[in-house]
Structure 1
Amino acid sequence: MGTRFLPATKAQPKEMLPLVDKPIIQYVVEEAVASGIESIIIVTGRGKTAIENHFDVAYELERLLESRSKLDLLKEIRSISYMISVSYVRQKEPLGLGHAILMARDFVGDEPFAVFLGD
Protein backbone atom coordinates (compact mmCIF):
# COMPACT_ATOMS: atom_id res chain seq x y z
CA MET A 1 0.00 0.00 0.00
CA GLY A 2 1.42 3.36 -1.05
CA THR A 3 1.39 6.24 1.37
CA ARG A 4 2.74 9.15 -0.70
CA PHE A 5 -0.67 10.55 -1.58
CA LEU A 6 -2.45 10.04 1.73
CA PRO A 7 -4.96 11.19 2.80
CA ALA A 8 -6.18 11.75 -0.80
CA THR A 9 -5.89 8.03 -1.57
CA LYS A 10 -7.45 6.74 1.64
CA ALA A 11 -10.79 6.15 -0.09
CA GLN A 12 -9.89 6.24 -3.79
CA PRO A 13 -7.17 4.63 -5.89
CA LYS A 14 -4.21 6.73 -7.03
CA GLU A 15 -5.20 6.04 -10.62
CA MET A 16 -8.45 7.93 -10.04
CA LEU A 17 -6.84 11.11 -8.70
CA PRO A 18 -7.77 14.01 -10.96
CA LEU A 19 -5.26 15.72 -13.18
CA VAL A 20 -7.01 18.93 -14.20
CA ASP A 21 -10.44 17.57 -15.22
CA LYS A 22 -9.92 13.81 -15.67
CA PRO A 23 -8.62 10.95 -13.58
CA ILE A 24 -5.03 9.97 -14.33
CA ILE A 25 -6.04 6.56 -15.66
CA GLN A 26 -8.24 8.15 -18.32
CA TYR A 27 -5.19 9.94 -19.74
CA VAL A 28 -3.38 6.59 -19.79
CA VAL A 29 -6.24 4.88 -21.64
CA GLU A 30 -6.54 7.77 -24.10
CA GLU A 31 -2.81 7.42 -24.83
CA ALA A 32 -3.34 3.71 -25.50
CA VAL A 33 -6.18 4.51 -27.90
CA ALA A 34 -4.05 7.15 -29.66
CA SER A 35 -1.35 4.48 -30.06
CA GLY A 36 -3.74 2.23 -31.97
CA ILE A 37 -4.51 -0.18 -29.14
CA GLU A 38 -8.06 -1.53 -29.45
CA SER A 39 -8.50 -3.50 -26.23
CA ILE A 40 -6.95 -3.32 -22.79
CA ILE A 41 -6.99 -5.23 -19.58
CA ILE A 42 -6.78 -3.32 -16.33
CA VAL A 43 -5.38 -5.19 -13.37
CA THR A 44 -7.26 -4.03 -10.29
CA GLY A 45 -7.20 -4.88 -6.65
CA ARG A 46 -9.03 -4.34 -3.42
CA GLY A 47 -10.64 -0.91 -3.23
CA LYS A 48 -10.32 -0.12 -6.94
CA THR A 49 -13.89 -0.59 -8.16
CA ALA A 50 -13.99 3.14 -8.98
CA ILE A 51 -11.78 2.36 -11.98
CA GLU A 52 -14.31 -0.12 -13.38
CA ASN A 53 -17.16 2.27 -12.65
CA HIS A 54 -15.38 5.10 -14.47
CA PHE A 55 -15.12 3.16 -17.74
CA ASP A 56 -18.61 1.63 -17.47
CA VAL A 57 -21.77 3.15 -18.92
CA ALA A 58 -23.45 5.59 -16.51
CA TYR A 59 -27.08 5.40 -17.63
CA GLU A 60 -28.47 7.56 -14.83
CA LEU A 61 -25.90 10.30 -15.43
CA GLU A 62 -26.50 10.15 -19.17
CA ARG A 63 -30.26 10.56 -18.69
CA LEU A 64 -29.69 13.50 -16.34
CA LEU A 65 -27.35 15.27 -18.76
CA GLU A 66 -29.75 14.64 -21.63
CA SER A 67 -32.72 16.01 -19.67
CA ARG A 68 -30.71 19.15 -18.88
CA SER A 69 -29.61 19.54 -22.52
CA LYS A 70 -25.93 19.28 -21.60
CA LEU A 71 -25.22 17.49 -24.85
CA ASP A 72 -21.50 18.31 -25.10
CA LEU A 73 -20.90 16.87 -21.65
CA LEU A 74 -23.12 13.89 -22.48
CA LYS A 75 -21.00 13.18 -25.56
CA GLU A 76 -17.82 13.35 -23.48
CA ILE A 77 -19.22 11.03 -20.79
CA ARG A 78 -20.37 8.50 -23.39
CA SER A 79 -17.01 8.54 -25.13
CA ILE A 80 -15.31 7.35 -21.93
CA SER A 81 -17.32 4.13 -21.98
CA TYR A 82 -16.90 3.40 -25.66
CA MET A 83 -13.37 4.56 -26.54
CA ILE A 84 -11.84 1.10 -26.11
CA SER A 85 -12.75 -2.44 -25.11
CA VAL A 86 -11.84 -2.84 -21.43
CA SER A 87 -11.50 -6.08 -19.47
CA TYR A 88 -10.52 -6.41 -15.84
CA VAL A 89 -8.65 -8.93 -13.77
CA ARG A 90 -8.27 -8.68 -10.04
CA GLN A 91 -4.92 -9.13 -8.33
CA LYS A 92 -5.92 -10.62 -4.98
CA GLU A 93 -2.65 -9.70 -3.29
CA PRO A 94 -0.34 -6.79 -4.18
CA LEU A 95 2.67 -8.92 -5.15
CA GLY A 96 4.38 -6.40 -7.41
CA LEU A 97 4.39 -5.26 -11.01
CA GLY A 98 5.63 -8.56 -12.45
CA HIS A 99 2.80 -10.43 -10.77
CA ALA A 100 0.26 -7.86 -12.01
CA ILE A 101 1.51 -8.36 -15.58
CA LEU A 102 1.34 -12.13 -15.11
CA MET A 103 -2.32 -11.78 -14.09
CA ALA A 104 -3.08 -10.67 -17.68
CA ARG A 105 -1.33 -13.66 -19.27
CA ASP A 106 -4.51 -15.51 -20.30
CA PHE A 107 -5.90 -12.35 -21.88
CA VAL A 108 -2.70 -11.53 -23.79
CA GLY A 109 -1.70 -15.01 -24.93
CA ASP A 110 1.07 -14.87 -27.54
CA GLU A 111 0.13 -11.40 -28.80
CA PRO A 112 2.37 -8.35 -28.44
CA PHE A 113 1.38 -6.13 -25.52
CA ALA A 114 2.25 -2.87 -23.82
CA VAL A 115 2.30 -2.03 -20.13
CA PHE A 116 0.87 1.34 -19.11
CA LEU A 117 1.11 2.47 -15.50
CA GLY A 118 -1.45 4.89 -14.13
CA ASP A 119 -0.15 5.06 -10.61
Structure 2
Amino acid sequence: MQKIRKAVIPAAGWGTRFLPITKSVPKEMLPVVDRPVIHYVVEEAVQAGIEEIVIVTARHKRAIEDYFDRFFELEQRLLRAGKSEECAQVRRISEMAHLVYVRQPEPLGNGHAVLCARPVIGDEPFLVLWGDDFIHADPLRARQLMEVHEEYGG
Protein backbone atom coordinates (compact mmCIF):
# COMPACT_ATOMS: atom_id res chain seq x y z
CA MET A 1 0.00 0.00 0.00
CA GLN A 2 1.28 3.43 -0.92
CA LYS A 3 2.03 5.93 1.81
CA ILE A 4 0.20 9.28 1.66
CA ARG A 5 2.81 11.87 0.68
CA LYS A 6 0.65 14.57 -0.91
CA ALA A 7 -2.23 16.82 0.04
CA VAL A 8 -4.63 18.97 -1.95
CA ILE A 9 -5.98 22.22 -0.55
CA PRO A 10 -8.87 23.60 -2.63
CA ALA A 11 -8.71 27.38 -2.24
CA ALA A 12 -10.47 28.73 -5.32
CA GLY A 13 -13.91 29.59 -3.91
CA TRP A 14 -15.45 33.04 -3.61
CA GLY A 15 -15.90 33.06 0.18
CA THR A 16 -19.37 34.59 -0.04
CA ARG A 17 -20.27 33.68 3.56
CA PHE A 18 -17.52 36.05 4.72
CA LEU A 19 -18.50 39.05 2.58
CA PRO A 20 -17.70 41.89 2.47
CA ILE A 21 -14.10 41.20 3.60
CA THR A 22 -13.65 38.43 1.02
CA LYS A 23 -14.30 40.92 -1.73
CA SER A 24 -10.63 41.90 -1.36
CA VAL A 25 -9.07 39.27 0.96
CA PRO A 26 -9.27 35.52 0.19
CA LYS A 27 -11.02 33.70 3.05
CA GLU A 28 -7.98 31.44 3.40
CA MET A 29 -5.96 34.57 4.18
CA LEU A 30 -8.19 35.79 7.01
CA PRO A 31 -6.06 36.05 10.15
CA VAL A 32 -6.13 33.82 13.19
CA VAL A 33 -4.02 35.85 15.63
CA ASP A 34 -0.94 36.73 13.52
CA ARG A 35 -1.17 34.24 10.63
CA PRO A 36 -3.69 33.46 7.90
CA VAL A 37 -5.75 30.34 8.48
CA ILE A 38 -4.17 28.54 5.49
CA HIS A 39 -0.77 28.86 7.23
CA TYR A 40 -2.05 26.61 10.02
CA VAL A 41 -3.45 24.11 7.50
CA VAL A 42 -0.14 23.88 5.62
CA GLU A 43 1.76 23.63 8.91
CA GLU A 44 -0.46 20.74 10.04
CA ALA A 45 0.09 18.87 6.77
CA VAL A 46 3.86 19.23 7.10
CA GLN A 47 3.83 18.13 10.74
CA ALA A 48 1.79 15.06 9.73
CA GLY A 49 4.47 14.05 7.22
CA ILE A 50 3.05 15.39 3.96
CA GLU A 51 5.87 16.06 1.49
CA GLU A 52 4.06 17.96 -1.28
CA ILE A 53 1.02 20.22 -1.08
CA VAL A 54 -1.06 21.22 -4.08
CA ILE A 55 -3.04 24.41 -3.54
CA VAL A 56 -5.82 24.85 -6.08
CA THR A 57 -6.42 28.56 -6.61
CA ALA A 58 -8.27 30.95 -8.89
CA ARG A 59 -7.22 34.27 -10.37
CA HIS A 60 -8.55 36.25 -7.38
CA LYS A 61 -6.37 34.27 -4.92
CA ARG A 62 -2.90 35.60 -5.77
CA ALA A 63 -2.40 36.65 -2.13
CA ILE A 64 -2.06 32.97 -1.15
CA GLU A 65 0.89 32.42 -3.49
CA ASP A 66 2.44 35.72 -2.44
CA TYR A 67 2.19 34.79 1.24
CA PHE A 68 4.15 31.54 0.84
CA ASP A 69 6.67 33.00 -1.64
CA ARG A 70 10.06 34.54 -0.79
CA PHE A 71 9.99 38.32 -0.35
CA PHE A 72 13.65 39.27 -0.81
CA GLU A 73 13.06 43.01 -0.61
CA LEU A 74 11.30 42.72 2.74
CA GLU A 75 13.98 40.39 4.08
CA GLN A 76 16.72 42.85 3.10
CA ARG A 77 14.84 45.77 4.63
CA LEU A 78 14.36 43.86 7.89
CA LEU A 79 18.04 42.92 8.03
CA ARG A 80 19.12 46.51 7.40
CA ALA A 81 16.82 47.61 10.22
CA GLY A 82 18.42 45.09 12.60
CA LYS A 83 15.32 42.89 12.71
CA SER A 84 16.98 39.54 12.09
CA GLU A 85 14.38 37.51 14.04
CA GLU A 86 11.54 39.02 11.99
CA CYS A 87 13.52 38.29 8.82
CA ALA A 88 14.00 34.66 9.87
CA GLN A 89 10.30 34.36 10.65
CA VAL A 90 9.34 35.67 7.20
CA ARG A 91 11.87 33.40 5.48
CA ARG A 92 10.62 30.29 7.35
CA ILE A 93 7.18 30.76 5.78
CA SER A 94 8.60 30.29 2.29
CA GLU A 95 10.58 27.24 3.40
CA MET A 96 7.90 25.41 5.38
CA ALA A 97 6.60 23.18 2.58
CA HIS A 98 7.00 22.12 -1.03
CA LEU A 99 4.00 23.85 -2.58
CA VAL A 100 2.59 23.46 -6.07
CA TYR A 101 -0.13 25.80 -7.35
CA VAL A 102 -2.79 24.75 -9.82
CA ARG A 103 -5.50 27.01 -11.23
CA GLN A 104 -9.15 26.06 -11.32
CA PRO A 105 -10.19 27.79 -14.57
CA GLU A 106 -13.84 28.19 -13.62
CA PRO A 107 -15.81 27.73 -10.38
CA LEU A 108 -17.27 24.24 -10.79
CA GLY A 109 -17.19 23.18 -7.15
CA ASN A 110 -14.92 21.39 -4.72
CA GLY A 111 -14.84 18.10 -6.60
CA HIS A 112 -13.67 19.86 -9.73
CA ALA A 113 -11.05 21.76 -7.73
CA VAL A 114 -9.64 18.47 -6.44
CA LEU A 115 -9.73 17.05 -9.99
CA CYS A 116 -7.65 20.01 -11.17
CA ALA A 117 -4.82 18.68 -8.96
CA ARG A 118 -4.74 15.30 -10.70
CA PRO A 119 -1.79 16.10 -13.01
CA VAL A 120 0.33 16.63 -9.89
CA ILE A 121 -1.20 13.88 -7.73
CA GLY A 122 -1.39 11.17 -10.38
CA ASP A 123 -2.61 7.85 -8.98
CA GLU A 124 -1.17 8.34 -5.50
CA PRO A 125 -3.33 8.43 -2.37
CA PHE A 126 -3.66 11.96 -0.98
CA LEU A 127 -5.35 14.07 1.66
CA VAL A 128 -7.84 16.83 0.97
CA LEU A 129 -7.58 19.65 3.50
CA TRP A 130 -9.66 22.81 3.41
CA GLY A 131 -7.74 26.08 3.34
CA ASP A 132 -10.26 27.83 5.56
CA ASP A 133 -10.79 25.02 8.08
CA PHE A 134 -8.43 24.82 11.02
CA ILE A 135 -9.00 22.56 14.03
CA HIS A 136 -6.54 22.14 16.87
CA ALA A 137 -6.39 18.39 17.49
CA ASP A 138 -4.02 15.98 19.18
CA PRO A 139 -3.10 13.87 17.35
CA LEU A 140 -3.33 16.07 14.26
CA ARG A 141 -6.42 15.36 12.16
CA ALA A 142 -4.25 14.91 9.05
CA ARG A 143 -2.14 12.36 10.92
CA GLN A 144 -5.31 10.55 12.06
CA LEU A 145 -6.49 10.25 8.44
CA MET A 146 -3.09 8.98 7.35
CA GLU A 147 -3.10 6.34 10.11
CA VAL A 148 -6.54 5.10 9.02
CA HIS A 149 -5.25 4.84 5.44
CA GLU A 150 -2.16 2.93 6.61
CA GLU A 151 -4.31 0.49 8.58
CA TYR A 152 -7.24 -0.03 6.19
CA GLY A 153 -6.24 1.38 2.80
CA GLY A 154 -8.68 3.47 0.88
Tell me the TM-score normalized by structure 2: 0.75
In structure 2, the partner of 1:96 is: 109
Corresponding pairs, count: 119
Tell me by how many angstroms 1:104 deviates: 0.5
Structure 2: how far apart are the matches of 1:89 and 1:57? 19
In structure 1, the partner of 2:57 is: 44
5+ unaligned residues in a row in structure 2: which ranges?
Answer: 1-13, 133-154
Structure 2: how far apart are the matches of 1:2 and 1:44? 13
Q: Which amino acid aligns with 2:30?
A: L
5+ unaligned residues in a row in structure 1: which ranges?
Answer: none
- Are residues 1:82 and 2:103 paired? no
Structure 2: how far apart are the matches of 1:94 and 1:69? 45
In structure 2, the partner of 1:33 is: 46
In structure 1, the partner of 2:69 is: 56
Tell me by how many angstroms 1:87 deviates: 0.7
Higher RCO (C-alpha under 8 Å, 6+ residues apart):
2
1:66-116 CA-to-partner distances (Å, cap 9, x unmatched) read: 111111111111011011111100001111111011000010112121111
- Are residues 1:8 and 2:21 paired? yes
- Are residues 1:108 and 2:82 paired? no
Tell me the percent identity.
Answer: 59
Q: Is contact 2:18-2:27 (8 Å) kept?
A: yes
Tell me by how many angstroms 1:3 deviates: 2.1
Q: Which amino acid aligns with 2:79?
A: E
Tell me the TM-score normalized by structure 1: 0.95
Larger Rg: 2
In structure 2, the partner of 1:18 is: 31
Aligned to 2:112, the other structure's residue is in SS state helix
Structure 2: how far apart are the matches of 1:75 and 1:2? 31
Q: Which amino acid aligns with 2:28?
A: E
